[in-house]
Amino acid sequence: MLVAGIDVGGKNVHIVLMKDGTMLEKGAAPTGIKKAEAVEQLYDKVLRQAGLKREDVEHVVATGSSGRRVTFAQGVIPEAAADARAVVRLIPSARTIIDVGAEEGRAIKINSEGRVLDFAINEKCAAGTGTFVDTMARALEITVEEMAKASLQSTQSIPMNAQCAVFGESEVVSLIHAKTPKHDIARAVHDAIAGRIGSVARIVGLEKDVVMIGGVAKNTGFVESLKRELATDVLIPDEPDFVGALGAAVAAETGVIEEKVETRVVERQDYEESSN
Amino acid sequence: MAETKYHTKGLECWDKAKELRTKYYKDYAKAHDRGALRWEGGAWSFDALPQALEGEVHPLTEEPYGASVGADPETQVRYQEAAEGKWGCARDLCAYLRSYWGSIILDEYFFGGKWPKADFIFQNHICCSHGKWLQVVAELEGGQIPYFCFDVGAGPYDKIGERQINYVVEQLYDGIEFLEKTTGRKIVDEKLIQNVYNTYRSACYWSKVCELNQAIPAPLDEKSMYSLYVLGTLQKSSQEIADFYVELYEEVKERVANQIAAVGNERCRVLGDSQPPWGFLRILRYMEEYGIVSIGSLYTFSLIGWWQIDDDGNLVPYPTLEDQGITIKDREHALRLLAEGELRGKLMWAPFYGAKFKNELVKKIARQWKCDAAMIHLNRGCEGTAMHQMELKIALAETGLPVMTYEGNMADEREFDEARDMRLIDLFLTETMGLKKLAD
Amino acid sequence: MEPIEKFLEVWRHRHDYARDWKARTGGKVVGYFCTYVPEEILYTADILPVRILGGHEPPNLASPHVFDMWCPFCRDCLSQGLAEKYDYLDGIMIAQSCLHVRQAFGAWEIHIPTPWKYYLCMPNAVRSPRAKPFLAGELASFKEAVEEWTGKPITDEALDKGIEIMNTNRRLMKQVYEFRKEDIPPVIGTEAMMMVWASQLMDKREHNELLKQFVEELPNRKLERDPGIRLMIVGSENDDRPFMEMVESIGGIFVIEDHCTGSRYFWDEVVPGEDRISAIANRYCDRIPCPSKDWGATDWQRKRFPHILNLAREYRAEGVILTQQKFCDPHECDIPSLRRYLEDNGLPCYFLEFEVTVPVGQFRIRVEAFLEQIRAEELFV
């Protein structure tokens, strides 16, 4: 069966084509202002690369904060659900997923079937997101990739006092003026976000294995900070930014999780006792 | 919708509830035209006292006023921006309080006309904001409104002894002195005694109504319950309101006997916490599309309801004075019974003394009301009801109950991101609970 | 070591100090939230009361227990506890005060193993005449609980000793504060408050010895600095040393404050009486209240406001910095009124919202502008 998964985030669109459980083709592009248009163009491009036409695809499932913009999708699943389905397939031992994207940081607790048991999200603020990294890299006048590498060379931890992205930027500027080495500032930035994300992860509990996905997972400097913050190993699948799209493709292939309830959702012994 | 699993129908006393509420706000505004007195206080003020003054007296309780404003986001934002902009208060203060202050600053009564200035303030204090709230009101009104505030933070329900009751009763005597001095009117003991009987009936019959919601299917959904308990937050000592609760109890009993459901396709029972975002109650209706009924919460049950814990550790309604076979003898007896009922029975106050109290009580509710999941509204608008919400999440999850939290504000739409919270709710319902929408 | 250095050392290494104290004395250490805790009774039983303060670190461990609309200070305190920084405590207690700090205590009780726990039901209506007898009853129960815990009865003589330790401490700190009234104060605000912070963390008998030495040295102490603009700082819990130091390095000097980590903590003494417990109860009801308790039973006016104005005048403050921990409702309720009250009385005010970590750079620019405003006003007087 040939299916497509489309993840429309705040910053990027990711598309995965999957045939019988194997990834066939993938592509990414900036979301831009005209989201629907960006999706259409990328979809056609990915199909072209695979030598396929739209009618060859049996099911399309979308996800992401603007997943509903994919008018040709047959279904839309929540981002956390997409994450869970993909991660449990890529790393079956995963029980906690940390997903840091451009506009949101979230933590998801899952079971062995990829069912979402608990979920937490960062407060509405850029301080725990990829945008914070971008902003601080700009202040440091280096690319995000350079910042990631630089922070790995840092040997000291400098606390960032600013708890918000706006104050954070001026604090970075102050540190630059104070002639603090760039690699130490880079680490300070990563440590600050790792603290925020760590808080979110602790809300759902930190059951192992802990897996990190999302664009920021490619930032090796941040991943090191997160490992230190959580005092645990953090696994990263290949291409962590495609995980959402992959999860949507998995859902397109398998259908949404079947409803398991008849009348009552949870039957528990202690409830039966009291309902005599 | 196709045929439902259970019969369902509206409440017969629904219009009566609406009528009583409308009359209350109108009476307050018009009180002076009739030579009646006006006073303002909290939903937890012991209205039995000021309402025992000679002649006609009308109260305005601050929280339900703020909630009414909150249900109209446009006005709410306008009022709150007046409090924040013109008075200069912080945006994160209690949402009701900011609407109330803004209303005075703009000289606007939400129910029409100019702000009806009170003749006196009769308040009680338990959360950080209560005593302070009307302190600022007195100041905003030029510093001339006589102010009385008493403390009910005497300890958790299971530690209430003579000393705690005396503390409150003595303050109530001070309150009587204040009322008589301020108004030049006397407290009429017959009225006081009747008001205490009524307070007991309102508080205990509401609990009996809530207890009936243990039935499957639930005869009431929480969205409707909000409109019903509100009367007890307005004037629980009133004869009409106490009678209403007795009537409501009889009707809900009938519903249970005839398996009349609040949600026709009930198949999943959810427990809430704290006030909902008043401008967005459609969330609860949306959940009904999944067959979910929200059966209540510690908040909904005990904001006005009185409860006790029986020998088996179950939460049961606090007995009325008639149940206890008590006849009120005199003023002293009335005040003692009033203090005793509030301090021992109002379990809504228990969380103020520790997370352990809230956890234990809510776990009892989850068990006795046969809940399948809990949805906690992390309410940035009310510190009091938001006490220990994350601890509650942990405690409920430990019992195996699926729990979700969503952040919002009971009465500040600027802090409620509906799209984001709906994503969370959808995720919880479809993934964690594994539910699908019911077919139309 | 100079007293001021010792205060700094205790504040910086509070946990080492407490551990060392335990090892030296074999006594018990009780952590407490909020300055309404009657330390007199703890001293009576040879227990060291240690105030739970934050670590000025992002409270990352607190998120699963207290969500982020609660004040950062209470979340920081809890976070420190969860990080096992207070693992030496034999007990933890609170005196009923604001809802925020009760959150921290509520979670602490459940998640941080501490052998002894106590919730003291401090009345809210401290200005009602009914509060004192009620509190006396609560204190009597508290005393019994301590007796039961330590296995030692508490005599009147012991209570006298506890009261004396506390009163001496208060008296000596007030003497130090007297020096802040001078034209060129020999002690800057950061130092004065550090002295108070140390008092909340260390054995007051040792603190008293340091204070005596300090009071003797102060007449000869000269600070090599232009005194700068005399400021008062008012608000919620504040042990933010970098902020205080920053202000005092850019042309300001704090000459007085109203904080529970400053003058409000020690301003009032226990007036001895035959009934010791009642005497203690009276002190805690009559003290300058925390805003959470500052409302009258039959009077909406705040007791704290005229006190703040008097302090500002006695210490000749030229301007007031109003601060609060983010989300602190009691202070948020008071600040618009307090600001008007002080400004109407000729004191310019500047408001700053604090978190446990303060972006000093940002605040520097703002405080500089405020100091400039005061200087400009002085030119035109």
Q: Taking all residues of chain B, what is their mean pLDDT, rounded to a whole number?
A: 96
Rounded CA gap, C58 and C62, in Å? Answer: 9
* Residues from A in contact with B at Cβ < 8 Å: 65, 77-81, 84, 115-121, 123-124, 203, 256-266, 268, 270-271, 274-275
C358 contacts A203? CB cut-off 8 A: no
B93 → chain C, closest CA residue:
C329
In this predicted structure, the answer to whether residue B320 has a pLDDT above a threshold of 70 is yes
Give the confidence band of B2 by pLDDT, cuts at 50, 70, 90: low
- Residue identified by tokens 């002639």 is A179
Q: Write out C171-189 in H/E/C secondary structure.
A: HHHHHHHHHHHCCCCCCCH
CA angle B211, B215, B218 (to 5 degrees): 95
CA dihedral A65, A67, A69, A74 (to 10 degrees): -160
Residue A91, pLDDT score: 97
Does residue C58 have a cis bond before it (omega within 30 degrees)?
no
In this predicted structure, the answer to whether residue A268 has a pLDDT above a threshold of 70 is no
| Domains with residue ranges and CATH for chain A | 2-125+195-275 (3.30.420.40)
B387 contacts C103? CB cut-off 8 A: yes
- Residue A257: which of B403, B426, B431 has the nearest Cβ? B431
Residue C379, pLDDT score: 72
Best interface-test mutation with B: which of C333, C337, C350 has the largest number of B CBs within 10 A?
C333
Residue B420, pLDDT score: 86
Residue A259, pLDDT score: 40
B134 contacts C109? CB cut-off 8 A: no
Residue C338, pLDDT score: 98
Q: Taking all residues of chain A, what is their mean pLDDT, rounded to a whole number?
A: 86
Structure tokens at B319: 């007995």
C362 contacts A202? CB cut-off 8 A: no
List of chain C residues whose C-beta atoms are within 8 Å of the C-beta of residue A159: 57, 357
Given a contact cutoff of 8 angstroms between Cβ atoms, the answer to whether C238 and C197 are in contact is no
| Minimal CA separation from A264 to chain B, in Å | 5
B178 → chain C, closest CA residue:
C298
| B143 touches C at CB < 8 Å | yes
- Residue C69: which of B92, B159, B391 has the nearest Cβ? B92
In this predicted structure, the answer to whether residue B222 has a pLDDT above a threshold of 90 is yes
- Residue A274: which of B368, B373, B403 has the nearest Cβ? B368
C129 contacts B174? CB cut-off 8 A: yes
C61 contacts A163? CB cut-off 8 A: no
Given a contact cutoff of 8 angstroms between Cβ atoms, the answer to whether A59 and A47 are in contact is no
Given a contact cutoff of 8 angstroms between Cβ atoms, the answer to whether C136 and C281 are in contact is yes
Rounded CA gap, C190 and C213, in Å? Answer: 19
B370 contacts A274? CB cut-off 8 A: yes
| C333 touches B at CB < 8 Å | yes
B436 contacts A81? CB cut-off 8 A: no
In this predicted structure, the answer to whether residue A12 has a pLDDT above a threshold of 50 is yes
pLDDT digits (tens, 9 = 90+) for B175-221: 999 999 999 999 999 999 999 999 999 999 999 999 999 999 999 99
Structure tokens at C229: 């603009």
Q: Write out the H or E segment, with its range, that includes residue B179.
A: helix B162-183
List of chain C residues whose C-beta atoms are within 8 Å of the C-beta of residue A229: 60
Average pLDDT rounded to a whole number, residues B306-327: 97
Structure tokens at B152: 């009910």
Rounded CA gap, C301 and C118, in Å? Answer: 32
pLDDT digits (tens, 9 = 90+) for B224-281: 999 999 999 999 999 999 999 999 999 999 999 999 999 999 999 999 999 999 999 9
Q: Write out the H or E segment, with its range, that includes residue A189.
A: helix A182-204
pLDDT digits (tens, 9 = 90+) for A113-159: 999 999 998 876 667 778 888 888 888 888 888 989 999 999 888 88
| C123 touches B at CB < 8 Å | yes
Q: Which long-range contacts (CB under 8 A, 24 or more apart) does A257-262 make?
A: A257/A81, A257/A113, A257/A115, A257/B430, A257/B431, A257/B434, A258/B434, A259/B434, A259/B435, A259/B436, A260/B434, A261/B267, A261/B268, A261/B433, A261/B434, A261/B435, A262/B267
Best interface-test mutation with B: which of A104, A122, A265 has the largest number of B CBs within 10 A?
A265
DSSP letters spanning B1-70: ----SSEE---TTHHHHHHHHHHHHHHHHHGGGGT-EEEEE-TTS-TTTGGGBSS-EEEEEHHHHHHHHH
Strand partners, C362: none
Per-residue pLDDT of chain C in tens (381 residues, 90 and over written 9): 899 999 999 999 999 999 999 999 999 999 999 999 999 999 999 999 999 999 998 898 999 999 989 999 999 999 999 999 999 999 999 999 999 999 999 999 999 999 999 999 999 999 999 999 999 999 999 999 999 999 999 999 999 999 999 999 999 999 999 999 999 999 999 999 999 999 999 999 999 999 999 999 999 999 888 889 999 999 999 999 999 999 999 999 999 999 999 999 999 999 999 999 999 999 999 999 999 999 999 999 999 999 999 999 999 999 999 999 999 999 999 999 999 999 999 999 999 999 888 778 889 999 999 999 999 987 765
B423 contacts A117? CB cut-off 8 A: no
B378 contacts C329? CB cut-off 8 A: no
- Residue C360: which of A161, A202, A205 has the nearest Cβ? A161
**Cα–Cα distance list, B384 to A240, B63, B304, C312, C378 (Å):** 42, 12, 15, 34, 45
B351 → chain C, closest CA residue:
C106
Strand partners, C374: none
| C137 touches B at CB < 8 Å | yes
pLDDT digits (tens, 9 = 90+) for B133-169: 999 999 999 999 999 999 999 999 999 999 999 999 9
A159 contacts C360? CB cut-off 8 A: no
* Residues from B in contact with A at Cβ < 8 Å: 216, 267-268, 367-368, 370, 372-373, 390, 397, 399-405, 407, 417, 420, 423-424, 426-428, 430-436
Q: What ipTM goes with this model?
A: 0.96
In this predicted structure, the answer to whether residue A264 has a pLDDT above a threshold of 50 is no
- Residue B354: which of C106, C129, C131 has the nearest Cβ? C106
| Minimal CA separation from A161 to chain C, in Å | 5
DSSP letters spanning B298-357: HHHHHSS--EEE-TTS-EEEPPPHHHHT----SHHHHHHHHHHHHHHH-GGGGGGG-HHH
B366 → chain A, closest CA residue:
A271
Residue C225, pLDDT score: 86
Best interface-test mutation with B: which of C94, C144, C295 has the largest number of B CBs within 10 A?
C295
- Residue A270: which of B367, B397, B434 has the nearest Cβ? B367
List of chain A residues whose C-beta atoms are within 8 Å of the C-beta of residue C360: 161
- Residue A161: which of C62, C64, C358 has the nearest Cβ? C358
B388 contacts C107? CB cut-off 8 A: yes
Please give the interface size between A and B, counted as residue pairs whose CB atoms are below 8 Å apart: 81
| C305 touches B at CB < 8 Å | no
- Residue B149: which of C67, C297, C333 has the nearest Cβ? C297
Give the confidence band of A97 by pLDDT, cuts at 50, 70, 90: very high
Assign C50 to helix, strand or coil.
Answer: strand
B367 contacts A274? CB cut-off 8 A: yes
List of chain C residues whose C-beta atoms are within 8 Å of the C-beta of residue B273: none
A195 contacts C58? CB cut-off 8 A: yes
Tell me which chains share at least 3 CB pairs under 8 Å with chain B.
Answer: A, C
Assign A11 to helix, strand or coil.
Answer: coil
Given a contact cutoff of 8 angstroms between Cβ atoms, the answer to whether C191 and C225 are in contact is no
Residue B437, pLDDT score: 84
- Residue A199: which of C63, C357, C360 has the nearest Cβ? C63
| C99 touches B at CB < 8 Å | yes
Q: Any residues with CB less than 8 A from the CB of B234 and at least 6 apart, and which?
A: B21, B24, B43, B59, B61, B64, B241
B-proximal residues of C, 49-68, CB under 8 Å: 63-67
Assign C117 to helix, strand or coil.
Answer: strand
Q: Write out the H or E segment, with its range, that includes residue C352.
A: strand C349-354
| Minimal CA separation from C300 to chain B, in Å | 5
| B354 touches C at CB < 8 Å | yes
Rounded CA gap, A267 and B373, in Å? Answer: 11
B355 → chain C, closest CA residue:
C106
Residue A125, pLDDT score: 66
A204 → chain B, closest CA residue:
B394
Residue A124, pLDDT score: 64
B87 contacts C336? CB cut-off 8 A: yes
